[in-house]
Amino acid sequence: MAVALNALHIKASDSCKNQVISGNWTLWAVLTRGRPAARNLNSNERSRNSISDAASAVKDEQEMIHKYDAIVIGTGQSGPSLAQRLTTEGMKTAVIERKLFGGTCVNVGCIPTKTLVASARSAYMARRAEDFGVMINGSIQMDMKRVKARKDEVVRQSNEGVANWLENMSNLTVYEGHGRFEGLHTVRVNDELLEADKIFIDVGARAFIPDMPGLSEVNYLTNSSIMAVDFLPEHLVVIGGSYIGLEFAQIYRRFGGRVSVIQRGERLIPRDDEDVSAAVKEILENEGIEVHLNATCIAVENRGGQVAAKLDCETGPREVVGSHLLLAVGRHPNTDDLGLEKAGIETNSRGFIMVDDQLRTNVPGIWAMGDVNGRGGFTHTSYNDYEIVAANLFDNDPRRVTDRIFCSALYIDPPLGRVGKTEREVRKSGRKALIGKMMMSRVSRARERSETQGFMKILVDAETKKILGATILGIGGDEVVHSILDIMYADVPYTVIQRAVHIHPTVTELIPTMLGDLKQLTEASA
């Protein structure tokens, strides 16, 4: 069973001899620091040494081709684990990484943002201290350099952990550089040409930069460049009202800056239900974040060093002027400079590599895992992609992408945990369904903590009694929702969880109560 924890998931498997200790990646990363450190080689040295050590070089007429059984391009959330499995299965493997070991999640995504969420929550709770009878003499100050240093340290441990892990993996050669296909089975990295029958692409995605009027005239931040910020932006303007944008919006508001969110559509997080969008907006506005919806045509301009964002592309009052601009308007797959055309690998109109249910591309012997295949977009889905590929290749286990149940969390505070279908999706499906909803203000744990914002909602198939989906927006929502997710994976009726005795006082204990009060999903219950 895979243990999915923290930065990079590690599968606790007998056959994975490098994957020691436990499934806890942070623990693993910390412990590996006691081992012989990874050689701190520059990319050329690393390639040279690795090649003479491990790769069998064959002299081609033009140049050396380094032959492997498998090549993994990218060290995101699936590549390193798959490399581990490939090498354990006796395959001579090359891994290519162009930038930061561990990829987005470790370096500029989940891990650093959640350290910032933690700092922001500390500031928020410190400001609320009096509500709990805790008196702080003096004002609450942020030391943004310390916030960043804490974040950097957590990231460093994970990033170095991945690098060390790969460095010490036997039968593996690590190349640092940008990999590009040169043909069906050949990939170039720096001056080296590699060849393998099996190639696995895990190159991820990056912040999408829209073709927005005026953007070339202003400085802007992305989820990557904001990681270097060690000061408090006086007024952060966030363009994008979905998961990434909202996390940063609340973080910087809680740090003490003014924050405006600009959303093109009529509501925030538009893939979620309307009541969820409305509640999230209320939570953010309660903290003083300014939310601008229906920004039908956004343009930006430099106004004396400030950034002015016009919301309608017309002159008029609908504009926001701030000190800094963060773009959070989606992700773009890293496929534009991958030489896919040389291997004949198909992408869709947005550049995502097209794969089948077992993550095979249209070219035999080439797989695409993680964000680049457009089938997931999360750390857990990328890691699951590795599991699917490994199970099909080595375990005679036909795992598929469509086996997995959607799950995600939005890490504002309180968090939003989501599994399965939304209410809107259930309605659209036309099936007979039941719905249960409970405000967090009814949950005693939430009241005890004076954190009663949000609600829980669950949808059940009226005929099979199986749970179709759930939303928990409230304290612990990201964790609590797993009790529902596991019941869905167990494929048993909701009555199993309804009859369970849960611990008091928890948020989870109210799930059986909510299930005991299901109503028909009708127009009126919308």
Ligand X SMILES: Cc1cc2nc3c(=O)[nH]c(=O)nc-3n(C[C@H](O)[C@H](O)[C@H](O)COP(=O)(O)OP(=O)(O)OC[C@H]3O[C@@H](n4cnc5c(N)ncnc54)[C@H](O)[C@@H]3O)c2cc1C
* Residues of the shown chain interacting with ligand X in the complex, contacts defined by CB under 6 A: 73-78, 96-100, 103-105, 109-110, 113, 178-179, 202-205, 223, 244, 334, 338, 370-372, 377-380, 382, 411
Q: Which helix (H) or strand (E) holds 314?
A: none
Smallest distance, ligand X to C-beta of residue 352, A: 11
Report the C-alpha gap between 59 and 503 in whole angstroms.
67
Which amino acid is it at 28?
Answer: W
What are the b/e assignments for 61-70, b being 16+ CB within 10 Å?
A: eeeebbbbbb
Is residue 265 within 8 Å of residue 294, measured between CB atoms?
Answer: yes
Smallest distance, ligand X to C-beta of residue 416, A: 11
Nearer to ligand X, 179 or 454 (CB): 179
Report the C-alpha gap between 409 and 236 in whole angstroms.
23
Is residue 145 within 8 Å of residue 139, measured between CB atoms?
Answer: no
Smallest distance, ligand X to C-beta of residue 247, A: 7
Smallest distance, ligand X to C-beta of residue 72, A: 9
- By beta-carbon distance, which residue lies closest to ligand X? 204
Nearer to ligand X, 38 or 311 (CB): 38
**Residue 292 CA neighbour count, 13 Å, CB half:** 22
Nearer to ligand X, 205 or 438 (CB): 205
Listed in order, strand segments (DSSP E) in 157-298 are 172-176, 179-181, 186-189, 192-201, 205-207, 235-239, 258-262, 290-292
Nearer to ligand X, 334 or 498 (CB): 334
Smallest distance, ligand X to C-beta of residue 8, A: 9
Smallest distance, ligand X to C-beta of residue 320, A: 22
Nearer to ligand X, 117 or 475 (CB): 117
Q: Which helix (H) or strand (E) holds 519?
A: strand 519-520
Nearer to ligand X, 71 or 309 (CB): 71
Report the C-alpha gap between 316 and 297 in whole angstroms.
13
Report the C-alpha gap between 450 and 187 in whole angstroms.
56
Show Cβ contacts of residue 201 under 8 Å, excluding neighbours closer than 6 positions. Answer: 73, 74, 338, 345, 353, 361, 366, 367, 368, 369, 372
Smallest distance, ligand X to C-beta of residue 43, A: 11
**What distance lies between CA 224 and its chain's CA centroid?**
13
Nearer to ligand X, 104 or 263 (CB): 104
Smallest distance, ligand X to C-beta of residue 75, A: 5
Nearer to ligand X, 381 or 498 (CB): 381
Is residue 417 within 8 Å of residue 480, measured between CB atoms?
Answer: yes
Smallest distance, ligand X to C-beta of residue 436, A: 27
Nearer to ligand X, 159 or 498 (CB): 159
Smallest distance, ligand X to C-beta of residue 326, A: 10
Nearer to ligand X, 107 or 498 (CB): 107
Smallest distance, ligand X to C-beta of residue 503, A: 26
Nearer to ligand X, 383 or 494 (CB): 383
| N-terminal to C-terminal alpha carbon distance within the chain | 39
Pairing mode, strands 319-322 and 306-310 = antiparallel
Can you say whether the dihedral through the CA atoms of 424, 425, 428, 433 is positive or negative? negative
Is residue 209 within 8 Å of residue 219, measured between CB atoms?
Answer: no
The DSSP secondary-structure symbol of 6 reads: S
Give me the DSSP letters along 171-203. Answer: TEEEEES-EEE-SSSEEEETTEEEEEEEEEE--
